[in-house]
Amino acid sequence: MENEIDLLIHLQNLDLEVDRERERRESLSSRNGQIDFRLKEIEEDLSGKKEELKQTKKQKRGKEKRIDEIDSLLHKHEEEKYRVKSQSEFEALDREMDGLQKEKVKEEDTLLELMEKEDSLINLLPSLEKEMGEEKKELIKEKENLERDIKDINQKEGKSKEKREKLTDRINKFHFEQYEQLRKIKDGLAVVVVKDGFCSGCNTKISPSIMGQVKRREIVYCENCSRIVYALKKKVD
């Protein structure tokens, strides 16, 4: 039959395992969140490029339409030149046509840039979709594995909780409350082994009087860090 110190050691080991699994779950959940963020980023990147191509085509059509309008105006003004009756009217038309010609050059330069951008996006999108599709596939697979591992941890935690409840029912209430308080203030480590006469929690030498109690497997505390200390049982040949 386990005595009080053995029960506390068992409880400590169980709690440490639960703590490790919780830390692991937090790490997995964090990675899961990173994957969700990256998946969203991929969708936004692809949507952004497709929207950019859409807007580029729209702008290109707008420039083509404006160039056609300028050509029509130039043709119209060219015919009007032959019908004007004064030199001032002729010069006014000439100035307007000169302005239209300059605007046309600018519009054609912009159109050329838009056409190059359109070609670049058209060529880029298939490879980008393939590349991001492969990354997305890998991320989804990783996410599925993470979610499975998180589910396993949750199930283990449920079983550990049941074990803990059964175990704590067997521990003296006073000792259990001390254990819980020590766990809170000692980074989860309330019960520690004595190694070569030293407390493994704070590396302080255990006094001979305390050491005698430790060997008798009584509930005793380190005089320096106040943790519950114990000695490993000697193996029987």
Confidence of residue 237 (pLDDT cuts 50, 70, 90): very low
Pairing of strands 220-221, 191-195: unpaired
Rounded to an integer, the average pLDDT of 6-27 is 95
Sequence length of the chain is 237
The domain locations on the chain are 21-168, 173-230
Q: What is the C-alpha separation between 221 and 201, in angstroms, rounded?
A: 11
Burial class (CB in 10 A: 0-12, 13-18, 19+), 237: exposed
What CATH number was assigned to the domain covering residues 21-168?
Answer: 1.10.287.1490
The pair of three-digit structure tokens given for residue 116, joined into one six-digit string = 């190059």
pLDDT of residue 143: 97
| Mean pLDDT across the chain | 94
CA 203 to chain centre: 39
Please give the average per-residue pLDDT across 123-148, as a whole number: 96
Q: Is the dihedral of CA 146, 151, 154, 160 positive or negative?
A: negative
What is the average per-residue pLDDT within 42-68? 97
pLDDT tens sequence across 173-192: 999 999 999 999 999 999 99
pTM: 0.75
